[in-house]
Amino acid sequence: MKLINRFILIYLLVTAVVLAAGGVISYYIIKDEVNFELRMRFMDRINRAGDLLEHSRRFARRVNDHNGYDEHGMVIRKLDHHVPPHVVSGDTMAWHEGLQRMEANVKVAAYKQINGDTYYIAAYGVLVESDDIREAVIKTLLWILGLQIVGAIGVGMVVSGRLFKPFRSTLKRIRSFKLQHSEPIRADETSVKEFDELNRFVEDMTSKAIADYRNLKEFAENASHELQTPLSIARGKLELLMETDLDPEQYQYLESTDRALSKLSKLSESLGLITKIENHEFDQSEKVNLSHLVQDSLKAFEELLALNSITVEADLKEDVEVNMPPVLADILWTNLFQNAIKHNVTDGRIKVELGEEALVISNTGKALKQPPEQLFERFRKGEQNSASIGLGLSIVKRIADQCGFKLSYQYNAPLHILSVRF
């Protein structure tokens, strides 16, 4: 439920309760006022009747009920005993001709001393029936309620657009926020305190997230840099040492030390690369022509493959384009291809199939020693002592995940089949 709708609902609910209470109060106030007015009028009439009696004037009265009331709802009676003069007012139920039912009427009765006699003069009647008052009050209130509803919804629709504009704009900014852009959200100033609080919070939070992200990124980068420098120094020293006069044994030591250092440096580079992929540092997707990429790479490796006596069969569809960061496309293909070369056998072959939906690369090779599901984990190697660092397919997996590709492995002896579905 939208916030504005909830506001309107609560507002209308409160309004309804207030109006109901207000209705009851109005009913009694109006009734009181009307009755008061009526009583005043009856008093007036009684006094006039008293005056007429005092001046011994007769006036025609037609009594039409058993209590001695005339058609104007008045009774004048001469009493035999003395009653001190006073006025009694109250309600009485009387038959209403028009409505054909008993109605609550106002009644005023006065005891008066007129020329030494005690008279009882009373009048009763009704100006507006309480039914009518109730009806009028309810009608009025329903009108007010109706107008409130129309007004609230109207105001809700018109104002909410404007009132919630800063909120929606902040929301939009949060949605389009990306850590890598290292641009914290800057929300517009609003005149609403709550929105300002929200905006400040979002700004602080995104700044912090960006700072943390940057720290992490810098750490990964610095770690790689700091590692590469000493490695570089060590390898340089080895190379200088290699220039001096050494015996074959010493050369061997130098050579294997250099190879170990080289592996170490590749390892830190690859780990850095995985971190970068996981940090989504490559997300500038564009159309990459995989056909060209694969073709160029196959051509570049022709010599190497021939030397390793590996034959390549390629079935490439022309101009297959995939939407992904170009760097990742390059790394993805390189790792897949290298994997196929590395785990191949002498006089082996590699089959590359590229279509609109998938890239499938198969290579001859020894059967896996570990379960296939471990294939894409870090540092899972077919042979522990091999020269590879065991991160190639892990990198492939990370790239596939980031680009939303499906990576699968199948073994169909003697072919290992890796397919990437776009």
239 binding other proteins? (CB under 8 A) = yes
231 lies in the site for other proteins, by CB under 8 A = yes
| CB-side neighbour CA atoms (13 Å) of 17 | 5
CB of 327 to other proteins, least distance (A): 6
Q: Count other Cβ atoms within 10 Å, centred on residue 256.
A: 10
CB of 205 to other proteins, least distance (A): 27
Among 142, 242, 314, 345, binds other proteins (CB under 8 A): 242
**270-309 residues near other proteins, rule: CB under 8 A:** 272-273, 301, 303-304, 307-308
Query: Under the criterion CB under 8 A, does residue 366 sit at the interface with other proteins?
Result: no
The answer to whether 258 contacts other proteins (rule: CB under 8 A) is yes
| Least spacing, CB of residue 416 vs other proteins, in Å | 15
Please give the size of the binding site for other proteins, defined by CB under 8 A: 45
Residue 343 burial (CB count, 10 A): 20
Q: Which of 113, 291, 334, 402 contacts other proteins by CB under 8 A?
A: 334
Residues 367-406, interacting with other proteins (CB under 8 A): 386-389, 392
Single-letter amino acid code for the residue at 318 = E
Q: Which of residues 342-361 bind other proteins (CB under 8 A)?
A: 342
Q: Which amino acid is present at 372?
A: P
Applying CB under 8 A, which of residues 5, 47, 67, 262 lies at the interface with other proteins? 262
Q: Is 21 an interacting residue with respect to other proteins (CB under 8 A)?
A: no
Q: How far apart are CA 336 and CA 392, in angstroms?
A: 8
Closer of 49 and 271 to other proteins (Cβ): 271
Stretch that binds other proteins, among 41-49, 112-120, 137-145, 236-244 (CB under 8 A): 236-244
| Of 38 and 305, CB closest to other proteins | 305
Give the torsion through C-alpha atoms of 91, 95, 100, 106, to 10 deg: -30
Rounded CA separation 347/349 (Å): 7
Note whether 166 and 187 are within 8 A (CB).
yes
- Residues from 67 through 126 that contact other proteins (CB under 8 A): none
Among 160, 339, 363, 394, binds other proteins (CB under 8 A): 339
Q: Which stretch binds other proteins (CB under 8 A): 18-26, 31-39, 222-230, 413-421?
A: 222-230
- Which of 101, 225, 366, 406 touches other proteins by CB under 8 A? 225
Q: Does 263 bind other proteins (CB under 8 A)?
A: yes
| Residue 351 CB, nearest approach to other proteins (Å) | 19
Measure the CA–CA gap between 112 and 83, rounded to whole angstroms: 8
The contact set with other proteins (CB under 8 A) reads 221, 224-225, 228-229, 231-233, 235-237, 239-240, 242-243, 248, 251-252, 255, 258-259, 261-263, 265-266, 269, 272-273, 301, 303-304, 307-308, 327, 334, 338-339, 341-342, 386-389, 392
